[in-house]
Copies of this chain bind each other. A is one copy, B any other.
Amino acid sequence: MTLPTPLTGVVPPVCTPLTPDREVDVPSLLGLVDHLLSGGVDALFVLGSSSEAAYLTDRRRRLVVETVVAHVSGRVPVLAGAIDMTTPRVLDHVAYAAEAGADAVVVTAPFYTRTHPAEIARHYRLVAERSPVPVLAYDIPVSVHTKLSPELVLELAAEGTLAGLKDSSGDLAAFRAVVTGAHADPRIAGFSVLTGSELVVDSALALGADGAVPGLANVDPEGYVRLDRLCRAGDWDAARAEQERLCALYGMTGVGDPARMGAGSSGLGAFKAALHLRGVIACPATAEPQVALSEAETERVGKYLAAAGLL
């Protein structure tokens, strides 16, 4: 299908369920997609950071995108991350994602290498030239260690290189500059501005964002869909209450003991534990070398779910 211009609403970055020996658990992945679609989400984003794309071999990445695209079968758009260090490696991921039928690819600035704005612009231009599907920029400085400036994003949007932005920078002021810049420029009509900051989705929508890509929507898709609809209806008080409920639920990402694991192991571990406790996926394993949650930490995830009425 064609990517809507703009893409709006809730676009969960789909977790990648794994078997105990860390292969993609295809039945659970299908179950998770059904869970999200029945929750009312507007599109799916596979192979993003919450999907543990950084931990999946190329074979597993390809399996994920093929499985999801085939299963969704055009009911909603499917975006695929093409996460790698530089242009040539990204293009290899773009190729199989497009071949599998993804409706768009999501691409970060180069990383591992030291990168200059001119090189970032060149990167996006080369990827877009050679990609059969639209390209969205993925701004995630915590991983990539560069921030995409609003000026650069708007320039690449105006020239037709970029079809959208998925912003996980946490910098709402810069995000707003993209939103208002895009609205002000007729050449950028249809550009999709999506926030990846799951704790301020109401704020992002209030200032004009098109949609949200919240990792926590794996756990509670209905909640984020409700939040999106309340924002669109201008019912800001109810939206804020729903957002605060989701912020409380997000507390689960902090259950992991920081003496024993990093924030990634804790956060992705909590999402998967929650999906397992809710019966959506068969096994809560995260990819290596992440550290697993303990039994007590998993119990605390359950308490967050119960408090949110999700168990």
Contact = CB atoms under 8 A, between A and B. Distances in A.
A141 B142 CA distance: 15
Interface stretch (A3-11, A67-75, A284-292): A284-292
Contacts of A244: 180
Interface of A: 22, 54-58, 60, 83, 85-89, 91-92, 110-116, 118-120, 122-123, 126, 142-145, 170-173, 176-177, 180, 197, 199-200, 202-203, 206-208, 234, 236, 240, 243-244, 247, 258-265, 287-291
A91 B66 CA distance: 23
Nearest to A236: B236
A264 B83 contact: no
A114 B263 contact: yes
Contacts of A55: 85-89, 113
B287 A86 contact: yes
22 contacts: A54-B112, A54-B113, A57-B92, A83-B112, A87-B287, A87-B288, A87-B289, A112-B143, A113-B262, A114-B142, A115-B264, A116-B262, A118-B262, A119-B262, A122-B288, A123-B289, A173-B200, A180-B244, A200-B203, A202-B207, A206-B236, A207-B240
| A-B complex: 10 closest residue pairs judged by Cβ atoms | A116-B262, A173-B199, A123-B289, A122-B289, A203-B203, A54-B85, A87-B288, A55-B86, A114-B264, A54-B112
Given A22-B88, A88-B287, 4 more contacts: A56-B88, A119-B265, A206-B240, A207-B243
B114 A288 contact: no
B261 A116 contact: yes
Contact of A197 (B83, B92, B173, B247): B173
Contacts of A206: 202-203, 206, 236, 240
